[in-house]
Structure 1
Amino acid sequence: MLSWQKSNLVTIAVPIGDTTIYTEARLAFRTDDSGNVGLAIHPLRKEPQLDFPYMGYKFSPEEKEQLLTTGNLGKTIEVTPKNGNAFSAYISIDPQTNEIVALRADRVNIPKEIKGVSLSDAQYKDLVEGKAVKVEGMTAKSGKSFNATLQVNAEKKGIEFIFDNNRGFKEHQQQTQQQGAPHKLCGLELSEKQREALDSGRTLYLKNMVDKEGKSFNAYVRMDKEQNRPRFYKWNPDKKQDAGKEKVVAVAEEHKTQVAVNNHGKTNEATKNVKEPLKTGQTQPTAAQKQKQDEKNNSVADVRSKKQETRFCESLYVAAAGLITICIRNISSLCTKVFICHNPKSQYNII
């Protein structure tokens, strides 16, 4: 992303009213017309939207087939964005999201020599026009010679090296678009019962799935039949659906202690003194948590000892204050009597 490229697919949360939908998307940094940097979100689509005009350009049946087969249009076309400024562009399909991508032709630098091979005029012309060009005898960084087909790829923002053992775009799409519920969802293995529940339209509440950043999350999951992929929800998208039915819950084996302690309030003997939520797979206190607990226990003992010392000192203070008060009263009484006895002018008036 720091080189202005897209990230791989990541799970994102999209708040819609009181509901949060979890979906997958690629992220990238982009600048607007004012030069401000922002985050662009490229969501996953079921299939490329080739039946609709793209920036004013309508694809022919042959062009659709070309894009679906190779992922590249194989030529430049003129497109017109919302600002009305038309430009010539290379067109490709992002294999991860099925998004149609355009790359301005005037921003692509095509060298006449690639990997030690000088392109012929015909090869250079075809490459500039967006066609696939077979080039032989190129030299890799390791010094080995190799052959490949070169073509401008808009999604990669430059020249793509296509090898004979590469899977075609169409084959890639067919293999990545699995029919029905997956066997593994965000790191969580689904049982046959859970997959059948998803395929039948049931909503499952799955716990301790792991997103692309390695963070654990829980969500309601339901299959999107139209797009043939699971949808993630923060809240139950169809409460009536679950009425009277057993909710199928899956918890990863390594998360069971974590879920029991964090979510169900149960006690684990080894971690009963750990006040922090348990982390993924945790069944014992960490070294830092144990040290923190020992320090806390020592601190509590010190506080109790200090409280006892304080109470003892307070008792001594009260006792001493009482004795001093009694002494002062006795001395005062004695002095008064002495004063009366030695003052002949005084007649029962106590000064």
Structure 2
Amino acid sequence: MQLSARPFGVTPDGTPVELYTLTNALGMEADIATYGGALVRLTVPDRNGILADVVLGYDSLDGYLDDCCFFGKLVGRVANRIGGARLVLDGEEYELDRNNGRNHLHGGAGGFHSRVWKAKTVETQAGQALVLRYESPDGEQGYPGNLAVSAIYTLTDDGLRLDFSAATDRTTAVNLTAHPYFNLSGRPGADCLRHVLTIPARRCLETDAELIPTGCLSEVAGTPLDFMDGVAIGARIRQDFVPLKNGGGYDHCYVLDSRSGLRSAASLVEPVSGRGMEVLTTQPCIQFYSGNFIPEGLPGKDGAVYGERSGLCLEPQGFVDAPGHEAFPEVTLRPGEAYRQTILYRFFVK
């Protein structure tokens, strides 16, 4: 595997941003920016061996600076929503940044997605990898504790691996994930509704009209949320079903049936190109988001124009709004503990 770097622009405060390119033996490439740790480009072969970019993004840093969709970025300290932007840890309450109405989303407006990460290269068993590090200070976006975070990108023979780790000097909350938008067709700007999705989960988190979990788990069998046997994303997305109406489509956290080790959380197939992707994770849940709020007419890479459902997200993570629900597995990290999480995007053809 090869790794190269080039300048990708400068932030408004004068911080330089670099774009790293990972290349494997099959010619697949992954471009990763130090701004937000964003996955800018990922090329994957179709059934005829033709490589195409399968993630949404922008040609320049300016797009990522103005981005409202979290295209390709690393998000934290806590991914997804925290109701009322209220975090309670060991009986102490913290007020977080409100950036989603009255709620907190993806670590706040100044979360990890908007920070420049420090980068270096390392050798791993799979080859050369890119290590990104960020030091989040005590009180950032309202979170307690100084948090040291690392994210390691490795382009394997058949996919992209992302390993997170974190440590804190004070009890805090951590639930990291990555936010790439996939479209396996290789046709920029096309919608993702014909992609066939499988999620091995019998339950998802019930949410209210603001997409905040109620604390209950809902059975998906017999509903438009059931992807156990593989269904085209567009087959039921417009059905008269309250959870779909609340999210403007799919924006739901599935609780995986299997809870241990690195295991399959979802698989996705685009039938025309034959490209397929399996998402593996060590986390208990995966959020499926069907790109419902991508602005219409959004300028993307290589002259593409994006719009609603131009791409979809599959985001492995812990239980959403876990600090607000005692019955949910916690996402609390304490001094002396090590946070670790792995996401593997494995590609295949069908």
> Could you say which structure has the greater relative contact order, defined with CA pairs below 8 angstroms and 6 or more residues apart?
2
Flag whether TM exceeds 0.5 (same fold). no
Is the radius of gyration larger for structure 1 or structure 2?
1
Normalising by structure 1, report the TM-score.
0.21
Normalising by structure 2, report the TM-score.
0.21
Query: Comparing both structures, which one devotes a greater share of its residues to helix?
Result: 1
Query: Comparing both structures, which one devotes a greater share of its residues to strand?
Result: 2
